[in-house]
């Protein structure tokens, strides 16, 4: 009798370990991928020279070459005027636009990226010229 109880206990314990392993495996497989956007632009730029504002878009670690929309929103600190610039696809997950800054100051740049039913909006500040 004691032997049967020990065997039954071992079988139940083994079954619980198998179920736990399967559950953990399924949770790892269900982890959703993330839309990641990294802005690639200089921290300081010269006035009146074309500057490339770019971003690299990845999803689950893979480069995204078919984003639904990539735009750059640009505004000077202290101003209510905002400019929305449509980016072009350069290949290898990279999207860019060229902009010439004509006034010294600090500008905010936000990349608006929609891809894989997700939206990401990273922001970077850029200093143009030599602001007071």
Could you tell me where the beta strands, DSSP code E, fall in the chain?
Answer: 35-40, 44-45, 50-59, 62-63, 69-76, 83-86, 88-91, 94-100, 105-115, 118-120, 123-128
3-class secondary-structure state, position 82: coil
pLDDT tier for residue 8 given thresholds of 50, 70 and 90? low
pTM of the prediction? Answer: 0.76
Percent of the chain with pLDDT over 90: 73
- For the stretch 87-100, pLDDT in tens is 999 999 999 999 99
Residues 6 or more apart in contact with residue 125 via CB below 8 angstroms: 77, 106, 107, 108, 109
* Residues listed for the chain: 132
- For the stretch 110-120, pLDDT in tens is 999 999 999 99
Pairing of strands 94-100, 50-59: antiparallel
> Is the pLDDT assigned to residue 34 strictly greater than 60?
yes
């Amino acid at each position: 009798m004691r032997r049967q109880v020990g065997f039954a206990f071992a079988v139940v314990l083994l079954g619980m370990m198998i179920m736990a392993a399967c559950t953990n495996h399924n949770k790892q497989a269900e982890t959703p991928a993330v839309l990641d956007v990294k802005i690639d632009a200089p921290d300081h730029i010269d006035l009146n020279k074309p500057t490339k504002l770019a971003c690299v878009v990845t999803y689950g670690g893979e480069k995204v070459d078919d984003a639904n929309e990539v735009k750059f929103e640009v505004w000077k600190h202290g101003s209510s005027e905002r400019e929305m610039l449509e980016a072009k696809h350069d290949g290898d997950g990279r999207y860019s636009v060229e902009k010439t800054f004509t006034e010294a100051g600090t500008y905010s740049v936000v990349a608006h990226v929609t891809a894989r039913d997700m939206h990401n909006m990273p922001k970077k500040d850029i200093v143009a010229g030599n602001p007071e």
